[in-house]
Amino acid sequence: MAALPALVLAQAPASIFQLNGDPTSNGSQCTYGATTATCDSWNLINGTGSSGKGVGHSALNTFISGSTNTFNFSTGGSKDANPISNWAYSSTSTPNKDTLNAAYAAVYTISDFDVVFGADRVSPNGDANIGVWFFQENITLNNGKFTGTHLNGDLFVVSAFTSGGGTSTISVYEWDSACTSGVKNPKVGQCADANLRLLANPSSVCGTSDYCAITNSGTVTATWASYSKNSLVTPLFFEGGVDITNAFKAVGGNLPCFASFLVETRSSASTGAVLKDFLLDRFPVCAMSISKQCGTPSFNNGSLTFPVNGVVTNTGLGTLYGIQVNDCINGSNNSCNPTLPVTIVNNTAGSTNLGSNTLAAGETGIWNDSSTSTSSSQSDQAYAMAAESSSGQLTLQSTNTALATCTQSINPTVTVSKSCNTALSIGTGLTACDAGPEGSTVTYTVAITNTSSSGEIVDQICDSAYGNIFTAATFTGSPCTAGTAGTVASSGCSALNIAPSAIGTCTFTAVQGANAIVTDTVSASGHSALNASSTFTNSVSNSVTVTSSDAPSTATVTKGLDSTQAGCATVRYTVDVKNTSGESVAGWVQ
């Protein structure tokens, strides 16, 4: 139920709108508060067929064109007393006398809360009954079914296109789930059918009555009816009105706040009549919209926090209470499953609701939220929910869902350093980066510092002298250039996953030949942990020089007796010389 502006004076529909079966103004006067002016009429409100706010003295109006509509009610469950979930539609045809060309409605809040409504059909042949629903939810169509539910207080008007024109009978009902069945010949306040309580069944209509229904008794001009050369013969044109304030006062009910309306043709005035053609659209007496935009993302422990903010605007006529925003990340099929609702804060300067989660008509409220992701992009959506009274439930949903895709560019960067240690770096003149004789091993340490704000993964490490140190199987870049100085004996390098500002290290061991000087660098390539397409390539380290010494030439000499001869003593000796160094010596064998 709605919280509409305080209304105190009676406001018969015919006192604020020309309801005489003619959409063209006849110059009659109406009272709008303290002002007397020419009555509003449908040619003024509809124009050539448009919806809007503040046209004439109306608060808002909706025009629905049916000239291209092919949808009609279908199946036996499409009954006014049944839940909307039972209703269905298809593209079947209806007789011309039951086919609608247009439907229209407008709201007036001069003193009471009034709605005026109208429709015109294709053919005048035969009588046709008409029903008008004003829903508190935004009822929509989806693949042959109606989407949305009835709320207690939805308004239902039944009348007729009367042959020959003139005033028509009118019955007014409210949806009330407390009605489990109807009574015969119900009186005001009694249940007329399941879910339908009678609000009014007046014996006289229009004039000073709170209820009016009338059809055209002659050919009239309609500015919007281009489909019939702007001419409507009798009785194609129907119009009516209800003083909602007095209708609900009669049964002690609160004022409803409408979001959509539907005009239907039906087989009779009975609540169980067969339903024929229909036209449906928004009628935002109580409504709100929501916007959403991305803030500036921030990095947090290798993930991204995406802040979002937006505005909820009360686009209807009544005050809305307890407004909350359901903000959520897109799931499968864009499903929206919010975790914690976000309360809006009224930011309308000068409003008595400033700082609260209540919005009067036209007021705005701000909201903000955030989400965390390990991706560089985050798509998310939000909708608002509100109560239509200070003690009501959050049943009114925003007329739109706000969508936003927040992104953060990723620029992965690293610094690379290289150091060394040798297994034999001892002795005179040897430093930490000098190798011993040939065959010595040198252990290099690679240190990669993540200098960006997101985590990074190393995909490849190359050495300018020794070639490939590590390449991930998934790496798609260029291979390392083959080494020329020696071989890699072993490598402990792998796909390092380095947090922001952290350092990842690994070691590899190379064999360096004798009497050599090797100066080399390492380079690293990889990608952001948040976005594989954001990469760093060939980040080069400092250079390191390793000098290996020449192996000394050494030999052992062994003397032995070879033989002696009798007589003159001749003694033969043998000398064995063995090369004990690690390299070849000219004229010697090792």
Mark whether 119 and 26 lie in a shared domain: yes
Mark whether 155 and 77 lie in a shared domain: yes
In a domain, 8, yes or no: no
- Listed in sequence order, the residues at least 6 apart from 11 whose beta carbon sits closer than 8 Å to its beta carbon are 108, 110, 111, 112, 114, 243, 245
Mark whether 236 and 330 lie in a shared domain: no
Mark whether 254 and 296 lie in a shared domain: no
**pTM for the full model?**
0.60
Mark whether 41 and 129 lie in a shared domain: yes
- Distance, in Å, from the CA atom of 366 to the CA atom of 355, rounded to the nearest integer, reads 10
Mark whether 534 and 579 lie in a shared domain: no
Tokens of 277: 């053609």
Mark whether 430 and 519 lie in a shared domain: yes
In a domain, 503, yes or no: yes
Torsional class of 587: left (φ above 0), alpha (ψ -120 to 50), beta (otherwise): left
- Distance, in Å, from the CA atom of 172 to the CA atom of 274, rounded to the nearest integer, reads 18
In a domain, 540, yes or no: yes
Mark whether 234 and 150 lie in a shared domain: yes
Q: How far is the CA of 173 from the CAs of 157, 207, 215, 302, 326, in angstroms?
A: 6, 21, 21, 60, 34
Mark whether 26 and 150 lie in a shared domain: yes
What's the structural domain count of the chain? 4
Q: Do 309 and 292 touch, CB atoms closer than 8 A?
A: yes
In a domain, 6, yes or no: no
Taking the CB of residue 230, how many other CB atoms lie within 10 A of it? 14
Where is the domain boundary, 237, 266, 282? Answer: 282
pLDDT at 401: 86
Taking the CB of residue 35, how many other CB atoms lie within 10 A of it? 9
In a domain, 1, yes or no: no
Element (H, E) at 131: strand 128-135
pLDDT at 534: 85
Where is the domain boundary, 357, 374, 407? Answer: 407
Polymer length of the chain: 590
Taking the CB of residue 376, how many other CB atoms lie within 10 A of it? 20
In a domain, 507, yes or no: yes
Where is the domain boundary, 407, 426, 456? Answer: 407
- Listed in sequence order, the residues at least 6 apart from 330 whose beta carbon sits closer than 8 Å to its beta carbon are 336, 379, 380, 381
Domain extent, residue 362, equals: 288-407
Mark whether 96 and 239 lie in a shared domain: yes
Mark whether 379 and 451 lie in a shared domain: no
In a domain, 75, yes or no: yes
Q: Which amino acid is at 158?
A: V
CATH of the domain at 543: 2.60.40.10
- Distance, in Å, from the CA atom of 196 to the CA atom of 515, rounded to the nearest integer, reads 104
Pairing of strands 211-215, 237-243: antiparallel
In a domain, 26, yes or no: yes
Q: How far is the CA of 526 from the CAs of 50, 415, 461, 533, in angstroms?
A: 59, 12, 9, 10
Render each residue's pLDDT in the chain as its tens digit; 590 residues. 444 444 445 689 999 999 999 999 999 999 998 899 999 999 999 999 999 989 999 999 999 999 878 899 998 889 999 999 999 999 988 888 899 999 999 999 888 889 999 999 999 887 789 999 999 888 999 999 999 889 888 999 999 877 766 788 899 999 999 999 999 999 999 999 999 999 999 988 999 999 999 999 999 999 999 999 999 999 999 999 999 988 888 777 677 888 899 999 999 999 999 999 999 999 988 889 999 999 888 887 667 888 999 999 998 877 899 999 998 875 544 556 666 789 999 999 999 999 999 998 889 999 999 888 777 888 878 999 998 777 777 878 888 889 888 888 888 899 999 988 765 444 444 455 766 665 578 889 999 999 987 788 999 999 999 999 999 999 999 999 988 887 788 999 999 999 888 999 999 998 877 667 888 899 999 998 887 888 999 899 998 888 877 655 555 656 665 555 555 556 666 666 565 555 555 555 54
Mark whether 142 and 42 lie in a shared domain: yes
Tokens of 9: 């004076």
Q: By C-alpha distance, which of 315, 259, 321, 313 is closest to 291?
A: 313
